Amino acid sequence: MRSRTAQTSYGALVALSNEAASWWWAGAGLIALALLPMWFGSHGLGILATIFVTAIGVLGLNLLSGVAGQISLGHAGFLLIGAYAQAILTTDYRLPTLLAIFVSGLVAAVASLVVGIPSLRLKGLYLAITTLAFTFIVRHIVLFAEKITRGSEGMPVDALSVFGFSFKGDLRFYYAALALLVLFILITLNLMRARIGRAWLALRDHDIAARAMGINLMRYKLLAFMVSAFYTGVAGALVALQTRFINVDTFSILISIEALAMVIVGGMGKVHGAILGTVLILLLPELLNLGFSAVGDNFKTLMADRIYEVKGMMYGVVILLFLRLEPEGMAGIWRKTRRFWVHWPLSQ
């Protein structure tokens, strides 16, 4: 019986997948996602597009915290930088919207050096507090730089347009967000199989041993911050394109907490875990709403009046349950389920 992990060549070891079934399942999943708009209205498409956009940022945080082992609570700041960079570049400087998405990611990556360089000697809780302080600093800079950012009034954002074709509207933006998510998933999978990804894993597991092996800790820590911030900046630009208007109040500290919850619930260091965690956390309010609607009007009213309190409580409950019952997150559940059916009927 093949284990699907033992390989006989380096090429097979670094390949995305040597199993034809994996490619068939990936193709089937893409076709299913492409056909989903046939069964969803505007509200459903908005939720799915939000999941795609958020998943790009969570993939970036997963590279930093899950793969490289650098805990960050400052990704709301990078998201804010990406969103405002998109708005300023397209509104004030008339840069093409598609190009502005990636330039916004680069702006966030450069800004990450502000927190990355002072944090080179920090780890754990100290690093998390430092990145959290960075978010507060960015929010106040946006508020004070009124001539550039319009301060607390917010900024309008031009719709996404590629070679004259506008992606204005829920359906068109859905497909644009899906295409970018697939692109970043492929980039992430290749990064994790390259020297960079293996160096990040060594840095996470044992930094002293990694240094002894010749890995430049300073270089790869900064690279992890920059790559993660680039992902989050792109996600912020897409948030601006989806909402068409941005305000500093949209990017609260809670976003960083939610993103870290998605990584933990999905499975630290796993690409599919980051996707599954994003789906679960973002669908929790909808699932709660459906559950309260089925129970009665009183619970539905409670959900409407105390939505933020209920969401915060459920995030805590979900994180505690996964940490206690399944530390590997949804990626671990997926692995065990797949192993069960692969070995069936000999599964225990």
Which DSSP category does 63 fall into?
I
User: Which two three-digit tokens encode residue 216?
Assistant: 């430049």
24 pLDDT band, cuts 50/70/90, is confident
Measured distance CA(105)–CA(81) in Å, rounded: 9
Q: Rounded to 10 degrees, what is the CA torsion of 289, 291, 293, 296?
A: -130
145-180 pLDDT per residue, tens: 888 998 888 899 999 988 888 888 889 999 999 999
* Lookup result for tokens 């969570």: 58
Which pLDDT score is estimated for 10?
Answer: 67
Instruction: Indicate if the pLDDT at residue 229 is higher than 90.
Output: yes
Q: Facing residues of 246 across strands?
A: 155
Residue 338 has pLDDT above 60, yes or no: yes
How confident is the prediction for the chain on average, in pLDDT? 86
pLDDT 10s digits, 230-268: 999 999 999 999 999 999 988 888 888 889 889 989 988
Sorting pLDDT into bands at 50, 70 and 90, what band is 139?
Answer: very high
**Phi, psi at 22, each rounded to 5°:** -65, -40
- Cβ-count burial 122-141 (b if 16+ within 10 Å, e if not): beeeebbebbbebbeebbeb
Tell whether the model's pLDDT for residue 1 goes beyond 50.
no
Which position has the higher pLDDT, 161 or 123? Answer: 161
Q: Which residues make beta-bridge pairs with 166?
A: 161
First to last CA, the chain: 16
- Residue 36 reports pLDDT greater than 80: yes
Token pair belonging to 43: 């509200």
Query: Stretch 317-343: mean pLDDT, rounded?
Result: 81
- Burial of 299 (C-beta count, 10 Å sphere; 0-12/13-18/19+): middle
Across 34-62, average pLDDT: 92
**Digit-coded pLDDT (tens) for 84-112:** 999 999 998 999 999 999 999 999 999 99
Torsion angles phi and psi, residue 159, rounded to 5: -70, 155
Q: How far is CA 261 from the centre of its chain?
A: 11
Contact 224, 63 (CB under 8 A): yes
Which residue blocks in 244-270 are alpha helix, DSSP H?
253-266
In sequence order, the 6+-apart residues with CB closer than 8 A to the CB of 227 are: 60, 63, 64, 109, 191
Amino acid sitting at position 281: I
pLDDT at 9 over 90: no
How many residues would you count in the chain?
Answer: 348
Query: Taking Cα atoms as reference points, which of 119, 271, 123, 118 lies closest to residue 207?
Result: 123
- Which of these ranges, 67-76, 94-103, 272-281, 296-305, has the smallest mean pLDDT? 296-305
Structure tokens at 148: 């550039």
Rounded CA separation 145/191 (Å):
36
On the question of pLDDT at 4 being above 60, the answer is no
